[in-house]
Amino acid sequence: MTETNQSPPPSKLPASPAVVEIRGLWTQFGPPERPVVIHRDLALTIERGEMVSLVGGSGTGKTVLLRQILGLEHPARGTVTVLGQPAAQLGRQGAASRVGMLFQQGALFSAFSVLENIAFPLRELGTLPDDLVRAAAYVKLQMVGLGPQHAHKKPSDLSGGMIKRVALARALIMDPPLLLLDEPTAGLDPHASDEFCELLHSLHAELGVTMVMVTHDLDTLFALSSRVAVLAEQKVLFSGPPTEVARIQHPFIHDFFQGERGRRAMTPVAAEVPGLAPSQP
Ligand SMILES: Nc1ncnc2c1ncn2[C@@H]1O[C@H](COP(=O)(O)OP(=O)(O)OP(=O)(O)O)[C@@H](O)[C@H]1O
């Protein structure tokens, strides 16, 4: 096949917007005369169907970035758009139908039952009769692998893994095309963590939902990421498939992937990828 300089014929359909498009983003805190700059001219584009892990040292602004995508925080400068719409203009209900958020501790309402927690965003919307809201919540309960016998339990009756599943069901109640996850497997034992990764993987395959997660856990990162975006030096310094990013020579990446936990998580991956054998300590 020979290359030509001809441009492809213009498509009749408008190109669909990226799921997340971040341009020229600056985040700073503190007094204007002595600002602490967290993000400096940061750019990141996330396309439909990607599973992107945000990694970076403590305080590099990973959680703040998730909150900006959700529209809960606004950058000092720059733009954050979700499916072509400015995140800041989504509003609470618009945000829930476009972006689901799984908070690190689940953030369930302790006085509500499992079913009430799952139904909450849809009930708040006030557009559906109660029986339909309940039916939708039961569907999501089943979708996250929990039987109806758990519907009337309170969060205090649930294991850590079940709390994550209920929080995930609530995040998905309005079928958002984008799911944000802050440390999805934090606090789970290895078995529960593997099971939760499998659930996220199968939901991604079934629903095609785009996922963006913050994780410090290498097993979760390798299990779930099609791409890793590294926050360092106040921007997304590198981005690529996990096995490619793991090879980059950078102090944070070296410590992250070649530290004790990193080497453990990399061992099965390295066996399949030439040149990725963990270095000796
Ligand atoms: N509302 C705020 N006011 C002032 N400083 C803030 C605010 N929110 C976040 N920060 C600061 O911004 C920095 C980035 O915070 P963020 O929680 O996003 O970091 P992170 O990368 O998620 O870190 P970690 O991996 O430790 O959770 C931190 O230094 C934090 O103290």
Q: Rounded to the nearest whole angstrom, what is the distance from the C-alpha of residue 2 to the centroid of ligand 1?
A: 51
pTM: 0.84
Alpha-carbon gap, residue 217 to 261, rounded angstroms: 8
Which of the listed residues 55, 64, 66, 234 should we mutate to test ligand 1's pocket, taking the one with most ligand atoms within 8 A of CB?
64
* Confidence label for 139 from pLDDT (cuts 50, 70 and 90): very high
β-strands 51-56, 36-46 pairing: unpaired
CB 115 within 8 A of CB 134: yes
Alpha-carbon gap, residue 174 to 218, rounded angstroms: 30
Which of the listed residues 25, 26, 29, 67 should we mutate to test ligand 1's pocket, taking the one with most ligand atoms within 8 A of CB?
29
DSSP secondary-structure letter at 209? -
Q: Rounded to the nearest whole angstrom, what is the distance from the C-alpha of residue 75 to the centroid of ligand 1?
A: 13
At 139, give phi and psi (nearest 5°): -60, -45
Q: Rounded to the nearest whole angstrom, what is the distance from the C-alpha of residue 61 to the centroid of ligand 1?
A: 5
Check whether 58 has a pLDDT greater than 70.
Answer: yes
The two tokens of residue 74 are 């606004």
Check whether 267 has a pLDDT greater than 80.
Answer: no
At 240, give phi and psi (nearest 5°): 175, 180
Average pLDDT, the chain: 84
Check whether 240 has a pLDDT greater than 80.
Answer: yes
CB 185 within 8 A of CB 193: yes
Which residue ranges have their beta carbon within 6 Å of ligand 1?
29, 38, 56, 58-64
Q: Is 156 exposed, middle or buried (0-12, 13-18, 19+ CB in 10 A)?
A: exposed
pLDDT of residue 1: 36
C-alpha closest to that of 46 among 183, 189, 236, 268: 236
Q: Rounded to the nearest whole angstrom, what is the distance from the C-alpha of residue 62 to the centroid of ligand 1?
A: 8
Q: Rounded to the nearest whole angstrom, what is the distance from the C-alpha of residue 63 to the centroid of ligand 1?
A: 7
Domain 20-109+179-272: which CATH class? alpha beta
Compute the average pLDDT of residues 153-159. Answer: 90
Angle between helices 114-125 and 91-98 (to 10 degrees): 120
Nearest CA to ligand 1 atom 16: 61
Nearest CA to ligand 1 atom 10: 29
pLDDT of 184-223, one tens digit each?
998 888 888 999 999 999 999 998 899 999 998 888 898 8
Nearest CA to ligand 1 atom 4: 29
Nearest CA to ligand 1 atom 11: 59
Ligand 1 atom with least separation from CA of 30? 4
Number of other CB atoms surrounding residue 202 within 10 Å: 12
Alpha-carbon gap, residue 16 to 130, rounded angstroms: 35
Check whether 5 has a pLDDT greater than 80.
Answer: no
Alpha-carbon gap, residue 31 to 236, rounded angstroms: 25
Q: Is 74 exposed, middle or buried (0-12, 13-18, 19+ CB in 10 A)?
A: middle
pLDDT of residue 7: 47
The two tokens of residue 135 are 């039916």
Nearest CA to ligand 1 atom 8: 64
Sheet holding 99-102, edge to edge: 99-102, 178-182, 210-214, 51-56, 227-232, 235-240
Compute the average pLDDT of residues 5-11. Answer: 48
Nearest CA to ligand 1 atom 17: 63
Q: Rounded to the nearest whole angstrom, what is the distance from the C-alpha of residue 184 to the centroid of ligand 1?
A: 18
Nearest CA to ligand 1 atom 1: 29
Higher-confidence position of 14 and 95 = 95
pLDDT of residue 78: 95
